Amino acid sequence: MRLRNIPRAEGTIQAHSAVIKRPEDQRGCWRQVFGNKHPICIEIGMGKGRFILNMAKAHPEINFVGIERYSSVLLRAVEKFDTEEFKELRNVRFICMDARRIEEVFAEGEVERIYLNFSDPWPKARHARRRLTSTEFLERYRNVLVPYGELEFKTDNTELFNFSLEQIKEAGWTLTAFTYDLHHNEEMVRGNIMTEYEERFSGKGNPINKLIAVRK
């Protein structure tokens, strides 16, 4: 997702209290950011923020950090955060950055779980390393997750999903659950919070794939 350039995006997100401006300064200190010892879960490529804001509302015992590459997209999440429904939340923060830099921002063992939702498919083979479930990214995630930390991934793109299943195996992670039809899987759909893309694609009749994997 890349929205047209919005001139006010940079200024608005820089001024917002939920946006962490120099996230690398918090490396190893994220508990201080939230002022408690609750586990930290992150969403990479959060888009307009529907999933992470609803997760934060449903789970006050967990701290959430949403990562998005584009300021024009993060702006939408920040604006959603400012609405009546979410503005009192104290357990969510946002970062504008490329997830490639994740190890500069989180120390080893600082993250409990990573959510990837409807990540860009990068269909060309020569771009496979850019996929957020490639072994290159899994290695970065391994370096910030707690031992037995989890990755949860949802997508309607079955090619990307099958690629991800292979990469998880290749990286030596343990696949704990997966489905090619989340919305008809009674066990895995329990507590499911929809993302913007999930609503759009499932509305068109596309089945949603989901996997859960545990770090090597």
Q: Which residues are near ligand SAM by CB under 6 A?
A: 1, 44-47, 67-70, 73, 98-100, 117-120, 195-198
Rounded to whole angstroms, how far apart are CA atoms 89 and 56?
Answer: 7
Least Å distance between CB 210 and ligand SAM?
12
Residue number, 68 or 150, with CB nearest to ligand SAM: 68
Active site residue 120: yes
Least Å distance between CB 36 and ligand SAM?
26
Rounded to whole angstroms, how far apart are CA atoms 15 and 154?
Answer: 32
Residue number, 30 or 197, with CB nearest to ligand SAM: 197
Residue number, 31 or 121, with CB nearest to ligand SAM: 121
Q: Could you write out the DSSP letters of every residue in the chain? A: --PPP-HHHHHHHHH-TTB-SSGGGGTT-HHHHHTS---EEEEES-TTSHHHHHHHHH-TTSEEEEEES-HHHHHHHHHHHTSTTTTT--SEEEEES-GGGHHHHS-TT-EEEEEEES-----SGGGGGGSTTSHHHHHHHHTTEEEEEEEEEEES-HHHHHHHHHHHHHTTPEEEEEES-GGG-HHHHTT----HHHHHHHHTT---EEEEEE--
Rounded to whole angstroms, how far apart are CA atoms 63 and 164?
Answer: 26
Residue number, 119 or 133, with CB nearest to ligand SAM: 119
Residue number, 32 or 92, with CB nearest to ligand SAM: 92
Catalytic choice (98, 120, 156, 181):
120
Positions marked active-site: 120
